[in-house]
């Protein structure tokens, strides 16, 4: 598993609190790694027990105390070890495609509506990614170089969403065509 390693990656950049990390999962790397705040807080505890992280407690007014975690030397070693290991290809479990596969059992209008709902979500997602890309393009050359690797992953997200949308558009067209069954 790599929740562990994605946390180490994020913390290798800068010390962060659980909340800040969970924001990064939502915004920066959410399109290729997702984790809930419950998972994150628990895993931070585990990683600390394993010696890969340490934290400082900070009191805040009106808010619960917070722990700012940072990676240890051991943590960095573990991260580097993992970065040279072989990882498994991402596994996909896509309920929408299961539905479509069984399309003969459903009313076509219902099916098309559900695909359209997903299409709207993917469009929203694509816009978010494009906004990040615009931000990247607006950086100076040096900064672009600094964010080169994140940018390569962003590109993946952009291409993946575009490919998804092209497919969905085709499918919706085909399933919406009233003449389709008639010949």
Partner DNA sequence: CTGGCCATGTAATGCGTTACATGATTAG
Partner DNA sequence: CTAATCATGTAACGCATTACATGGCCAG
Work out whether 106 is an interface residue with a second copy (CB under 8 A). Answer: yes
Q: How far apart are CA 93 and CA 96, in angstroms?
A: 9
Q: Which residues bind DNA (CB under 7 A)?
A: 1, 3-4, 17-20, 22-23, 34-39, 41-42, 45, 60-67, 91, 93
Partner touching 156 among DNA, a second copy, none, CB below 5 to 8 Å by kind: a second copy
Partner touching 15 among DNA, a second copy, none, CB below 5 to 8 Å by kind: none
Task: Identify which range of 45-53, 63-71, 126-134, 167-175 contacts a second copy by CB under 8 A.
Answer: 167-175
Q: How far apart are CA 52 and CA 72, in angstroms?
A: 5
- Beta strands in 63-180, from DSSP E residues, in sequence order: 66-71
* Residue of the chain from 135, 155, 169, 177 that contacts a second copy (CB under 8 A): 155
If the CB atoms of residues 41 and 136 are measured against DNA, the closer one turns out to be 41
Residue pointed to by tokens 């994140």: 150
Longest dimension (CA), the chain: 72
Work out whether 163 is an interface residue with a second copy (CB under 8 A). Answer: yes
Residue pointed to by tokens 């059992």: 105
Q: How far apart are CA 43 and CA 45, in angstroms?
A: 5
Work out whether 173 is an interface residue with a second copy (CB under 8 A). Answer: no
Residue 24 near residue 82 (C-beta atoms within 8 A): no
Task: Identify which range of 46-54, 60-68, 128-136, 165-173 contacts a second copy by CB under 8 A.
Answer: 165-173
DSSP string, 106-174: S-HHHHHHHHHHHHHHHHHHHHHHHHHHHHHHTS-HHHHHHTHHHHHHHHHHHHHHHHHHHHHHHHHHH
| Per-position x/- string for 16-55, each x denoting binding to a second copy as judged by CB under 8 A, each - no binding | -------------x-xxxx---------------------
* Residue of the chain from 148, 169, 173, 176 that contacts a second copy (CB under 8 A): 148
């Amino acid at each position: 598993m790599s929740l562990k390693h994605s946390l180490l990656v994020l913390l290798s950049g800068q010390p962060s609190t659980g909340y800040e990390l969970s924001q990064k999962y939502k915004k920066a790397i959410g399109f290729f790694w997702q984790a809930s705040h419950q998972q994150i807080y628990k895993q931070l505890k585990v990683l600390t027990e394993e010696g890969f992280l340490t934290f400082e407690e900070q009191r805040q007014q009106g808010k619960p105390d917070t722990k700012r975690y940072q990676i240890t030397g051991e943590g960095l070693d573990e991260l580097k070890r993992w970065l040279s290991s072989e990882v498994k290809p991402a596994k996909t479990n896509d309920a929408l495609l299961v539905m479509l596969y069984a399309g003969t059992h459903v009313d076509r209008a219902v099916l098309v509506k559900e695909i359209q709902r997903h299409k709207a979500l993917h469009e929203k997602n694509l816009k978010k990614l494009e906004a990040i890309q615009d931000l990247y393009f607006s950086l100076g050359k040096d900064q672009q170089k600094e964010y080169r690797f994140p940018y390569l992953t962003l590109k993946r997200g952009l291409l993946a969403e575009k490919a998804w949308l092209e497919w969905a558009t085709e499918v919706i067209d085909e399933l919406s065509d009233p003449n389709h069954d008639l010949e």
